[in-house]
Structure 1
């Protein structure tokens, strides 16, 4: 794994050395109080008791998907298997999670829960190469995050992997052969069915958009949701929704900073839509896609 070097360039350049590891409860409290800022997740409950265990923290992300947080307490603890157990439990007890969301965020939020991409985020001072390899082999939505604390109050999170909940590519097609597992089964089929029903030309355009977004950086990951395909770094920066004669991109940009053009871009900050992002871009052909590229790149850089 790469070694991060952090320097203070105010005056004489000095390297910042990470200090003692945060106490487990201190780290958990800090993340729970700032979960939206750190991870784009709305906090629901701490120490969520279930049959056979207790989840450290639980929340719901901007795609309305459940998120479980587990904190690694020592080097010998197998927090990955523990997180996988909790994820399986949650998928078998969806009604319990809906009641939790309803009690904290209300009925409207509970009705929007999306089970297509639930996630486990494991946070630790250190993971080893075997942990990363194990998660990659599992092909489940488990994220490994290392943290470092510095004496000047700075806290660094390093995301070690970017799991994708979308399908793998086969014969250079883009997300047309979904990987079906317990997490995804029956939840992403609507988007996949729409992709299969559109014209070959629009399907090629969809593939080109996917290829372009994925080429923007190694930190890009995709979430295959029920209604759309979401691309994220830490948070979503672009979502693709399929219609019979066009594609719509929803970009995480401030609409006031975008020159809006009739029938191409519009402000949807107050308009209901499936994808996250306040700027809608309508793409019907390759010319529209070329015009959209600078906006996509902006959303990626600012995301």
Structure 2
């Protein structure tokens, strides 16, 4: 983002005016804006701000949340570049894993009993939002077996906010991309639809670095910063994939794609893709890529 230049077209002046990027005046400005729109910006439901960790740990977690798949999320903010943000976040992540009952009580009070019972403790996440990160920060997060997202922000003008994912670490080794479904602890799949599920799994994991796969009972989610695809268990004749793509931007093809905006279904996403053959998987590649790049 430091190299990004943003211009506003202006037909009454020189025709083009540069919008200068800037950092927040204070860290709280970033935190307040993200917390007010956390689900839209990060795909995380907001739970609490400045959450105290008690007298023993003597700290305050900037933001606590729950992502689309039910994973606990800690969000830490820094106005500029601060080497301490990652270690601070990891410290709080360790605290969170030792205080699961307390977190679930918070979820129950804010989001209800059902949501609290479905918290996914196998994939807790740390999101660091800061004015910048160094190459040493990116290297450091790769050394940890945790899911960590480094997000750089910039304000443009008076009313524009830019977010850039600098690194998204899943805590898995690159070789994990090639792991078959059974080896990953997922239920075995058989038949033609099962083969399609394995092919889609390989394609989605191979879209880029930092793709995380989260298994829920009703679906398998693929996320970058947010979910970009959800794959339901194979049916007898087809495989359903839900994408974070606006159906209005897609030519809907009956029997292949469907607008499910406002319709109940497992996972997240408003575009349903129905796969019945390897050719359908090939037809879906561009849709997968667009959804991935938007996450």
CA drift of 1:58 comes to 0.7
Root-mean-square deviation over aligned CA pairs? 3.3
Match of 1:271 in 2: 264
Q: Does 1:113 align with 2:105?
A: no
User: What number of residue pairs does the alignment pair up?
Assistant: 285
Map of 2:19 onto structure 1: 16
Match of 2:203 among 212, 215, 223: 212
Per the normalisation by structure 1, the TM-score is 0.78
Counterpart of 1:6 in structure 2 is 5
Residues 167 and 176, structure 1, Cα contact 8 Å, conserved in 2: no
Alpha-carbon distance in structure 2 between the residues aligned to 1:22 and 1:271: 42
Of 121-130 and 103-112, deviating more is 103-112
- Asked whether 1:223 is paired with 2:213, we answer yes
Contact 1:266 1:279 in 2 (8 A): yes
Q: As a proportion of its length, which structure holds more strand?
A: 2
Report matched runs for 1:270-289 at 5 Å: 270-273=263-266, 275-289=267-281
Unpaired runs of 5+ in structure 2?
Answer: none
Say whether the 8 Å CA contact 2:259–2:272 is kept in structure 1.
Answer: yes
Partner of 1:97: 103
After TM superposition, give the deviation of residue 105 of structure 1 in Å. Answer: 1.8
Matched residues in 2 for 1:238 and 1:49: separation?
34
Shift of 1:121: 0.8
* Counterpart for residue 161 of structure 1: 167
**Among residues 69, 82, 90, which one is paired with 2:88 in the alignment?**
82
Corresponding residue of 1:148: 154
